[in-house]
Structure 1
Amino acid sequence: MKISMQLFGLAAADFLPLVERAEQLGFECVWLADHVVTPLTFEKRYPYAPSGDPGFRPETPLTDVAVTLGYLAARTTTIRLGTGVFVLPMRNPFHVARSWAALQNLSGGRAVFGVATGWMREEFEALGVDFADRGRRADEMLDVLALLWSGEPVEYHGTHFDFGPVHFAGAPTEPIPLVFGGHAAPALRRAASRGTGWFGPNLDLAGSLELTRRIDRLRAELGRADEPFAHYVRLHGDLGPDTLRAYEDAGYEHLVFSPFNRLPASATTADRLAALDRAVEVFGAAWPSTGAASG
């Protein structure tokens, strides 16, 4: 069993002490949630909360995830560095390829590229990107990224991206794990057909089981059942050894939780560090005991 944590909405200076402590405590990975900009008004249609409210506001701090993970890579040695998840189709594939190849190489192969197509129409509109066509744009971007990361001269001629022969110097020296987020049918199909993993939404154990079984059935249909694949599912419910064991009994090897959700908005970095320590104490003997995990 490996445990990860997801971080979002923190001041930039808060990330390093929390990730350093998480590494010391044996966390497998830190996942940074992603947005580029927050419109002052947007429709509350967040797909992973019954109310549709994502829980953040225009004043919630945002950080560039690739830059932040690069900074964290320089100050850590074993914890993996992921996005849970990166809104892929809002970006330019050349810039994405460059930043993530650099992160993978400079971190010693610790990058985990978690991606999804996004849900906030207003954010896409602010960036001048077509929201309705984001799925097809993302699929082409994935094709382009795979070509660029091959390190060979490549060209591409698609609907959204069209370029002649180019050479992408500095390709990743190790493959970058590609993890898909989302729970809609297209997201599950992408995970099954193109991914090395799936990053689940905040669901209870029964909900996570339903979706992971659907992905596994799709992978079997595609002949990929024997290929390595990781389900990163959210730890839901009371924190404690019984909860961990329930997920372990269900066959999960990778759990993700947000250790600061129960803290007040006024919480300090010291409060968050204490919450990390308490989480390990609460999980007790069920907590991974092999030290910092390299994945």
Structure 2
Amino acid sequence: MRVGFAVPQSGPWATPDNMRRIAVRAEELGYSELWAFQRVLYPVGHPMGPTYRSVHDPLVTLSYVAGITGTIRLGVAVVNAFVQPVVLAKQLASLQIVSGGRLTAGVGLGWLPEEFEAAGVGFERRGRRAEEFVEVLRACLTQDVVEHQGDFYQIPPSHQDPRPDSPPPILLGGMDERALRRAGRIGDGWVSASREDLTGIASRIYIVKEAAREAGRDPSGFRFVCRGVTRVRPAGDPDRPPLTGSYEEIRADVETLAGQGVTDVFHDLNFDPEIVTMDAKEAMRRAEEALEALAP
């Protein structure tokens, strides 16, 4: 089991100095990866909650921490398929090169209609769009000459250089069976959503692996990444969800997830409503305490 930590990205605690402090200390403590997520818009009056209200761009954030770290990996979970894949491929290639090959790229369908509308992309046929999106992304990252004529994207014969020596693994997100099977057919693994019921994650992993084998692929090298919606709370709550509770309970939950087939878990305090709404200094104090206590 590889254990990662999310960069401060949402709310008052998400300052450049705090990003640096978390990134540098996480590398010192032996965490495997630093993670970021995407939220482009917060529609006025939307009830999605404080985590999504004020969010830094994930690739800019990871580029910043890439320059102040040396070995820890960098992951985005996820960039949604309403962006333009050729432009995203250029960004991912550059980040993979300047970071020395440390990037993991998560891709999701997207679920907020307003973001699609603002990007000028149709919300319908998201699944089919995502499949073509990944096809274009991989072509740009691996092929000397890229040419594509599809339902959603058209690329005349072109070079997109420089390409990284090794492309970043592409993990797919999603919760329903179609998304899980898509991850098995075309992804290098799967990353769980913040709303995932972690008590049933083993069944999700099984579906991904089954779909991979049906497609003639070997899932033994797949990564199964759990976004840990980690909330440090008093011990002993009998109704607590996994990764909510005392440090001892959370560490035990990580071991349980490993037994269910999860290969990577990252603790994401950006999804704790207390952290993203409290005073930045107090949020950082609690985050650094958690960083030390939950270190691998």
Query: What TM-score, normalized to structure 2?
Result: 0.83
Aligned length: 272
* Contact 1:125 1:131 survives alignment (8 Å): yes
Structure-2 residue corresponding to 1:129? 121
1:78 matched to 2:104? The reply is no
2:37 is equivalent to residue 33 of structure 1: yes
2:222 corresponds to 1:229: yes
CA distance in 2, matches of 1:264, 1:101: 31
Distance 1:188 1:66, change over 3 A: same
> How far apart, in 1, do the equivalents of 2:268 and 2:136 lie?
33
Equivalent residue, structure 1, for 2:233: none
| Secondary structure of residue in 2 paired with 1:85 | strand
Could you give the per-residue CA deviations for residues 46-79 of structure 1, whole angstroms, max 9, x where no partner exists?
A: xxxxxxx35445xx22222212211111111111
What does residue 9 of structure 1 align with? 10
Map 1:1-295 to 2 at 5 A.
1-7=1-7, 8-10=9-11, 11-13=14-16, 14-42=18-46, 53-56=48-51, 60-87=53-80, 89-202=81-194, 203-235=196-228, 236-237=242-243, 238=245, 239-240=247-248, 241-259=251-269, 261=272, 262-263=274-275, 265-269=277-281, 271-281=283-293, 283=294, 287-288=295-296
Q: Is the 8 A contact 2:202 2:261 kept in 1?
A: no
- Given the superposition, is the C-alpha separation of residues 153 and 263 from structure 1 closer, same or farther in structure 2, using an over 3 Å criterion? closer
Call closer, same or farther: CA 1:158–1:204 in 2, change over 3 Å.
closer
* CA shift in 2, pair 1:223/1:61, >3 Å: same
Question: Could you tell me which amino acid in structure 1 is paired with residue 32 of structure 2?
Answer: E
% identical equivalent positions: 30
In structure 2, do the counterparts of structure 1 residues 27 and 140 end up closer, same or farther at CA, with 3 Å as the change threshold? same
Structure 1, 159-168 or 221-230: larger mean CA deviation? 221-230
Cα displacement string for residues 217-255 of structure 1 (whole angstroms, at most 9, x for unaligned residues): 222222323541111124423332432332233343311
TM-superposed deviation, 1:151: 3.9
Q: Which runs of 5+ in 1 are unaligned?
A: 45-52, 289-295
Amino acid at match of 2:3: I
What letter matches 1:211 in structure 2? R
Question: Does the CA-based 8 Å contact 2:26-2:291 persist in structure 1?
Answer: no
CA spacing shift, 1:190–1:54, aligned 2, 3 Å: farther
Assess if the C-alpha contact under 8 Å between 1:12 and 1:63 holds in 2. no
1:191 CA displacement? 1.1
Deviating more after overlay: 137-146 vs 4-13:
4-13
Indicate how the Cα distance of structure 1 residues 80 and 275 shifts in structure 2: closer, same or farther if over 3 A, else same. Answer: same
Cα drift, residue 32 of structure 1: 0.8
Query: Aligned letter for 2:75?
Result: G
Q: Which moved more, 1:139-148 or 1:225-234?
A: 225-234
- Tell me the secondary structure at the aligned position of residue 168 of structure 2: coil
- Relative to structure 1, the CA distance from residue 263 to residue 279 in structure 2 (aligned partners, 3 Å threshold; closer, same or farther) is same
Q: Deviations over 1:57-104 (max 9, x none)?
A: 5xx2222221221111111111111111111x2111221111000000
Q: How many angstroms does 1:258 deviate by? A: 1.7
> How far apart are the structure 1 equivalents of 2:125 and 2:134?
15
- 4+ long deviations beyond 6 Å: none
* Residue of structure 1 equivalent to 2:232: none
Cα distance in 1 between the residues matched to 2:118 and 2:101: 34
